[in-house]
Each structure stands twice: as C-alpha cells, then as structure tokens.
Structure 1
Amino acid sequence: PLCRKKENSRERRGSAAAGGSMPLSEYSLLKELGRGSFGCALLAKRRADGEMCVIKQVEIGRMSSEERREAEKEAGLLAKMRHPNIIAFHCSFIEAQERLVSSPQRSGGHLLCIVMEYADGGDLTQFLEKRRGSRLPESQVIGLLVQICLAIKHLHDRKVLHRDLKPQNIFLTKRGVVKLGDLGVAKVLQGTLQLAHTQIGTPYYMSPEIFDGRPYRDKSDMWSLGCILFELLTLKVAFQAPNMKALMMRVSSARHHPLPATVNPDLASITRQLLARQPSKRPSVNRVLRHPAIQRRLGEFLDDGSADRLLHGGKNGVSPSRVPSKETRSPDAHREARLGRGVLPRQRLSPPSEDVVKRRVRETAMKKREAERRHKAAQRAAEASE
C-alpha cells in the first residue's frame, strides 16, 4: 500500500509513491476547504482511527518525468520537518484524476495527494479579519511572533526555505497554537504555470530581490515575516498600491506604510529591520529570537533546556563564541548585531527609476507568456499521445 497502516495515532510518517492501489479509500472525504489554481484542499477523516486531516491535491499531469520525481522527493522531505509549530506531514501518494470524484479537473492526468495535519482554528487571515477595527494586544502579537519564528528557525537550521510565507499559510488550533503550513508546496510547483500566476497575482509578501529576479534565500523568508508582523500590528498589509506597477515600486524601494506611533518601539524596530531593502541588513530568525522583547516570552513555548540552547548556544542555537568581535566584524554584521538594542536607523532608499519599473513589468509579462506557451505545447503533446 502507498500509505502504510498507522501503528498509533501520534506516529508521523512520510512516503511518496506512484501507481498501485487507491489509498484514498482509507479516508472519508468530508468537504472542500479551499480551491486554487494548483488544485484543492479537502477535509478528511482517517477511517482507521477517526483522526481529522487535510488532503491537498496538486495537479502534476503537465510535469515531465524528472519534475514528477522531484515533486515526489520534495513531498517525502516534508516528513522530516517535525515541530510543534509546523503542520505535520502524514504521507503522500499519486492518484489518477479520473478516479477522484473531487478532482479539480477531469483531464485524465495525475494528482499528487499530500496528507497533512488539520488545524481546527482556521488560518491567520481569517483570525485577523475577525479583528478589523480592533488591534491585537501586544502580548498576543509577541506570542504569535515567537511561535512563527520557532517554526522558521526549525526550517532554516535545516537549510530549508518556506518560500511562501503569508497569513494564509499560517494556521491556528482552537487552543491558540500556531502551525506553519504549505511547507514545500511552492517548491513542488516551481516552474509550473500555476506558480507563475501566484507570483504575479499576490505579491504583497514577496521581497524586493524576487522582483529583481535574484534567487530566493533565507532573508527572503525574513522579509515575508516582516510583512506578517506589520499586519499583526496594524491589521493592514505593509505595501498597498492602486495597481501592480505602483506596488512593484513600493516593494522594490521598501516604502511600506508608516507604523502607528502607538506600536511598541521594540516591535516597530524589529518590523523595520525585517523590511530592509537589502537582504544583508535584515536580521536572521536567530537574531529576532534573541531580541530582549522576544526572549522574555520564549519560556512559554520552550522547556528550560531548549530556551537555554537557543539563547546561549548549543545544538541548533546561536553561540556567542561564533559571533566575530566588534573589531573584526563586518559593518553589515555589526549593524545586524545591534538589532537587540533597537538602535538601527531606518534606511532611506530612493525608489527605482521609471525605466527600471517598466523593464521589470515587461520581463514579468514575457515570463508569463512563455509559461503559457509551454503549457499549451504540453497540452498539445499530451493530446497527440492519446
């Protein structure tokens, strides 16, 4: 079987396979939770023990054999990301679309089905929508930030990037526990038309370097964290504009909306540093966790030993002995190290020129047209093979 039987209700396992019997028979499909260009998410109940879970279906019919193998491999890697603040990965398998009643398209292709933990409190977007007009208490913002940072730290310590951090991918349980979700889905979909639409359609959490066509890196995740923190503090997105061109200019120049004067100075400082235009000037997740305002709350979410290792070194921690001395430290590293004292000045950066913005818009449009051309060619090839 593609999903081996669960020996106990708390075991977390991961596998990726194709073909064979239909593991969906092990689940009762209850309802659709959401649908996007990539496929859909279904709420399900495992027949063996009644545990609720989410099954995400990703359409991979247009992928090459190599891309498909990479997608399966990536899904398997998700099983290694075990953390209290990360949505648990159960298993994955491939199903033929025509065999699924809930298939988003009846194209006769294949779906990668990813079975994951279900967070019964909804996502952060839904949570914030209920608060419109009433800002979150500072203690609640810090509590959410600490848990999100602990999840990101778990990924970054293992050289894994989330790539799609946004409130819709941060889930909550009814007990208030943060669960970072959709881990790896962006990488599974890399190079597909669906991902191209996602990048062009919802750029509110994308960093300036992505608009510039530079590679995604850990500091790109930190930019997205800054956008999320801004939203937690203000209930508004950090960057908003009447059209895509104006939004690209705002993001590229890091000209976010001003924070209210009533925002806690420590949280305001962290937000501004995370939204620095230059990636080297953004703090790492370890630096954020070692900020005094955050340190004071770590004990609520970690045992004493884990908190000590995080703050003072040890396994997966940040050891002070590894930080260069003030004399040998580079200017950028020295500036980053001062985050904890909240004294970094806000960067004043000039916006990109009109020609630069036009070039970026043209390049984005060309990439979209090329993706559509490849998609149509793949469809024609598939029809011809049938």
Structure 2
Amino acid sequence: MEGGIVADRYEAIKRIGHGSYGSVYLARRRGTTSSFVVLKRVFVVEEGSKEHKEAINEVKMLQRLRHRNIVAYKDSFIRDSHLCIVMAFCSGGDLHSQIRAARSSSRTFTMEQVLEWLAQILEALRYLHEEKRILHRDLKSQNVFIVPERQMALGDFGISKSLSSTEDMASTVIGTPYYMSPELCQNQPYNHKSDMWAVGCLLYEVVMLRHAFEAKNLNELVLNIMQGKFPPVNEDEWGKDISKLVEDLLQQDPAKRPSVSEVLQRKFLQEVEERSREKSVLTTRSQGFRLLHP
C-alpha cells in the first residue's frame, strides 16, 4: 500500500498505524504538493452488515464535528471493500510522545502548559457531550494530538457513540486498559462519566509522567482500577486544585464524578479560559495591525 494510489485521489506515503480495524496511512492528494493528510482504511465486510452500518455512522458523525480542538474531517469514500476516511494530519505528533520525551529527559511540564492543555481537552469534550451528544469512549494520550500554536485536538472517533439512545447509556466495553473506568471493567452500562474518568487518567499521566493505574498483567490492572489504587499526585509540586480534580475524576462511583461543564466551572480553569480569551483578542488585533501596515 505504501507509495500506492487510493481511489485515484490520494497517494499513501507510509503506514503509521495498524490494528484489527485496518490501517492508517500518511498520505496526500495525488499529483499535488499539498499538505499531508491521514488516511484511515477500514475493512467493511458487506453492505448492510453491522460493521458496514457502524463505518457509515462513523463518517456521518465525523462530518458533523467542527471544533478547533477536534481533528478535522476531510473526505471519505469506499474503495476495494474498504472505507477510507481522510482526516487532517497533526504534524506536532501526539500527547503520548510528549509525555514519553519528558519522562526520558527527566523534566516536567509547566503548570501553565498543563492547564492550557487540560482546558482545551475539556472544551472539545464539552462540545462532544453537550452540543453533539457523543461519547468519545477511547480517550488516551495517543488520541490527543498537537496542532499549530500548541493546541490540543482530540482524534480517533472510530468507536464513538451517540448519547441519543433511550437510556442515554452505552454497554459495549471499548477502551484502552490503562484508561478504563471501573464500570467498563465490570462490563456495566456507562455514559459520559466514563470519558471523565479517562480525563482524570490523562491529567494524572501528564503531571506524574506515568499511568495512574499500572500492573504486571491485565487481571492485576483491573483489580487496581476496581480498588481505586494509585499513588497520589504530588500536591507540593502541582497544588491542591490539580490534586483534588484528579481525585474527583477518579471516583469509583460515576455519579460522584463531575461532568465536563462542572470541571470547567472550577475557578482555576475559569482563570485559564479568561487568559486564553485575552490572548486570542491580542492575536486578532495583532493580525489586523499587520493587514493595515504590511
């Protein structure tokens, strides 16, 4: 596939991911020197099958999403029994790589950087949960991407699910073990509060440079998650606000976890949003000045 032509539209440069669902390629439009895109090639068994319907639903869902902190949808088509979904390429890599680099160099992120990233992830989730009624269901550092101006963007919505069902719940167990909530471990119904658990795991990982829940095997990991066993956040280094937020998000009872809007209402995050708005106004004014005075 690498170096191959896909549907006379795109040239696959190299494969950058692979799984049971199919493969992901770095690509670009054929015959152009345009910027790179990411092409996700998913095998679809047959028209009318459950897999085919899920794939089509994914495309319809992606087409609805328009947010600066969500990786942009570009195109989609069927080719050789595969659904091909084209998304924007995030040249800054993912949050997982940033965390790994920080751990390797024995450095930590600044408080300002952590709070900005957290606010951006939460804004994307608020858009998904409250405006689009969608669960992400696989939040992890590998699915948080870095776009221009050090902005964070959520990606990989292949297993997202609409919240519009009668019970407002989803019962399929999907997710990455390190980020799985207790209710997922028990194969119980869950809703948007499982995404919030994953945010707690992400925040912990960013500040501590390790997973909140670790183990030698899956059974031990599930046990640790079910018992809520994780080393506490270093409050002397990160302060009470961050420590308390992690504690609240990693509550065993989903009902006790805050919603995305409740988290964003916390004073320290309100201050981050205010600084972000001020920075945006200054940037807009600066751009306007350059246009008037080239």
TM-score, normalised via structure 1 length: 0.63
Instruction: Find the counterpart in structure 2 of residue 146 from structure 1.
Output: 119
Instruction: Find the counterpart in structure 2 of residue 167 from structure 1.
Output: 141
In structure 2, the CA distance between the partners of 1:63 and 1:129, relative to structure 1 (3 Å rule), is farther
Aligned residue identity for 1:43? L
1-side partners of 2:141 and 2:7: how far apart? 29
2-side partners of 1:75 and 1:252: how far apart? 34
**Would you say 1:45 and 2:28 are equivalent positions?**
yes
Shift of 1:302: 4.5
Aligned residue identity for 2:252? R
Q: Which one is further off, 243-252 or 220-229? A: 243-252
Shift of 1:170: 0.3
Aligned residue identity for 1:44? A
Aligned residue identity for 1:37? S
Confirm or deny: 8 A CA contact 1:54 1:116 kept in the other structure. yes
1-side partners of 2:197 and 2:155: how far apart? 18
Shift of 1:30: 1.6
Aligned residue identity for 2:96? T
Unpaired stretches in structure 2, ≥5 consecutive residues: 163-171, 281-294
**Would you say 1:269 and 2:240 are equivalent positions?**
no
Among candidates 90, 100, 109, match of residue 136 of structure 1: 109
Q: How many residues align?
A: 263
**Would you say 1:208 and 2:182 are equivalent positions?**
yes
In structure 2, the CA distance between the partners of 1:253 and 1:39, relative to structure 1 (3 Å rule), is same
Task: Give 1 or 2: higher strand fraction.
Answer: 2
Unpaired stretches in structure 1, ≥5 consecutive residues: 1-21, 97-109, 189-194, 306-386
Instruction: Find the counterpart in structure 2 of residue 177 from structure 1.
Output: 151
Aligned residue identity for 1:75? V
Instruction: Find the counterpart in structure 1 of residue 55 from structure 2.
Output: 71
Q: Where do residues 189-200 of structure 1 align in structure 2 (5 Å cutoff)?
A: 199=175
Rg (Cα) greater in structure = 1
1-side partners of 2:33 and 2:60: how far apart? 23
Secondary structure (helix, strand or coil) at the match of 1:25 reads: coil
Secondary structure (helix, strand or coil) at the match of 2:14 reads: strand
Aligned residue identity for 2:113? Q
Instruction: Find the counterpart in structure 1 of residue 14 from structure 2.
Output: 31
Shift of 1:91: 2.1
Shift of 1:66: 4.1
1-side partners of 2:193 and 2:243: how far apart? 18
Shift of 1:34: 1.8
In structure 2, the CA distance between the partners of 1:302 and 1:93, relative to structure 1 (3 Å rule), is farther
1-side partners of 2:102 and 2:279: how far apart? 33
Confirm or deny: 8 A CA contact 1:92 1:115 kept in the other structure. yes
Aligned residue identity for 1:282? R
Instruction: Find the counterpart in structure 2 of residue 251 from structure 1.
Output: 225
Percent of aligned pairs with the same residue?
37
Confirm or deny: 8 A CA contact 2:181 2:225 kept in the other structure. yes
Among candidates 270, 275, 279, match of residue 295 of structure 1: 270
**Would you say 1:282 and 2:253 are equivalent positions?**
no
1-side partners of 2:193 and 2:112: how far apart? 26
Shift of 1:55: 0.4
Shift of 1:63: 8.2
